[in-house]
């Protein structure tokens, strides 16, 4: 943390509904998030995430990309806003912009993302559709540290659920989203407690290397050394 002993300051970047932001806010309300969300940034004016932030009394910043057409300029503005708020951890929660390498590197080991698939399977978009098309039996979500390559950073924690015979894209999306709301607050809590770190692209939990992501299943079981799928 930039200020040893201080409560970590979190900035959440989101383009959409903000249900993951809400899960983090709710965890905070329950006294289960030892960090303070001090800033929410969105590239979309109508993002539900901005409204949720305002309702919670958190500074909500809309940064329209149209005003800064070059990615470098936009990301420098982002970086300035994050620095102005003394951000310790950047939490990407459905932020639908690719970040410049420079911005990602300036938060190396201090930027998390949540992706709706069991990475490294299904990087990118339309993950639920692709899982159904491939007739896979298991699906889920992954919290990972962010590196310049998209959806490629070291995985920290996954939610895994069985794909049921009657699942369609919408039902699968809903199951995965419910799982996201469980795992993101846990991973952010670990980071805020100083238990979770990333060194040289390797995840350390309680100073032990995580050779595979920790896994939470639909029945609520947590496994630190879950077998690969
Ligand atoms: C989530 O599905 C997350 O995995 C993806 O974007 C979505 C954000 O949803 N990165 P919300 O805005 O938090 O509801």
Tell which residue, 186, 8, 17, has the closest CA to residue 89.
8
Q: What is the pLDDT of residue 226?
A: 76
- What is the arithmetic mean of pLDDT over 172-184? 98
User: What is the position in ligand 1's atom list of the atom closest to the CA of 14?
Assistant: 12
Ligand 1 atom closest to the Cα of residue 176 is 2
Q: Whose CA is nearest to atom 2 of ligand 1?
A: 116
Please tell me the distance from the alpha carbon of residue 65 to that of residue 42, in angstroms, as a whole number.
10
Q: Which atom of ligand 1 is found nearest the CA of 49?
A: 12
- Give me the domain span that covers residue 206: 116-142+149-221
d(CA 67, CA 46): 16
Query: Is the pTM of the predicted complex or chain greater than 0.85?
Result: yes
Q: Are residues 126 and 89 in the same domain?
A: no
Are 51 and 126 members of one domain?
A: no
Tens of pLDDT, residues 111-160: 999 999 999 999 999 999 999 999 999 999 999 999 999 999 999 999 99
Return the SS3 of 179: helix
- Considering the domain architecture, whether residues 30 and 5 belong to the same structural domain is answered as yes
Same domain, 19 and 99: yes
Q: What is the pLDDT of residues 42-51, one digit of tens each?
A: 999 999 999 9
Structure-block tokens of residue 225: 């050394």
Q: Which residue in this structure is represented by tokens 């290397």?
A: 209
- 2 band by pLDDT with thresholds 50, 70 and 90: low
Report the pLDDT value the prediction gives residue 217, as an integer from 0 to 100. 85
pLDDT score, position 104: 98
Task: Count Cα neighbours of 218 within 13 Å in the Cβ-side half-sphere.
Answer: 13
Residue 228: inside a domain: no
- Residues 40 and 77 both lie in one domain: yes
60 lines ligand 1 (CB under 6 A): no
Whether 134 and 176 map to the same domain: the answer is yes
Output the CA torsion sign for 39, 101, 209, 213: positive
Q: Write the residue with the smallest CA distance to atom 8 of ligand 1.
A: 94
185 and 33 Cβ atoms separated by less than 8 Å: yes
Instruction: For ligand 1, say whether the CB of 110 is within 6 Å of any of its atoms.
Output: no
Question: For residue 1, what pLDDT band results from cuts at 50, 70 and 90?
Answer: low
Which CATH number goes with the domain that contains 88? Answer: 3.40.50.170
pLDDT at 208 over 70: yes
Tens of pLDDT, residues 10-48: 999 999 999 999 999 999 999 999 999 999 999 999 999
pLDDT value, residue 68: 87
Mean pLDDT of the chain, nearest integer: 95
Catalytic residues: 115
**3-state SS assignment for residue 173:** helix
Residues 6+ apart with CB under 8 A from 206: 195
49, 83, 107 - which closes a domain: 107
Same domain, 99 and 6: yes
């Amino acid at each position: 943390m930039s200020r040893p002993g201080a409560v970590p300051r979190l900035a959440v970047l989101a383009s959409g509904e903000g249900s993951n932001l809400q899960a983090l806010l709710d965890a905070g309300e329950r006294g289960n998030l030892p960090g303070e969300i001090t800033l929410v940034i969105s590239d979309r004016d109508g993002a539900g995430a901005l409204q949720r932030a305002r309702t919670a009394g958190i500074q909500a910043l809309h940064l329209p990309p149209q005003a800064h057409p070059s990615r470098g300029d936009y990301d420098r503005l982002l970086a300035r806003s994050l620095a102005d708020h003394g951000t310790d951890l950047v939490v990407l929660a459905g932020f639908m912009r690719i970040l410049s390498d420079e911005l990602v590197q300036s938060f190396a080991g201090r930027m998390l993302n949540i992706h709706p698939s069991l990475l490294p399977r299904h990087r990118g978009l339309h993950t639920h559709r692709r899982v159904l098309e491939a007739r896979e039996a298991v699906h889920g979500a992954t919290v990972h540290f962010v590196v310049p390559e998209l959806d490629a950073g070291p995985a920290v924690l996954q939610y895994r659920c069985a794909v049921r015979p009657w699942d369609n894209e919408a039902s699968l999306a809903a199951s995965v989203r419910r799982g996201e709301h469980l795992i993101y607050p846990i991973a952010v809590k670990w980071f805020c407690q100083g238990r979770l770190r990333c060194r040289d692209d390797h995840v350390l939990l309680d100073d032990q290397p995580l050779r595979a992501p920790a896994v939470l299943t639909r029945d609520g079981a947590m496994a630190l050394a879950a077998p690969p799928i």
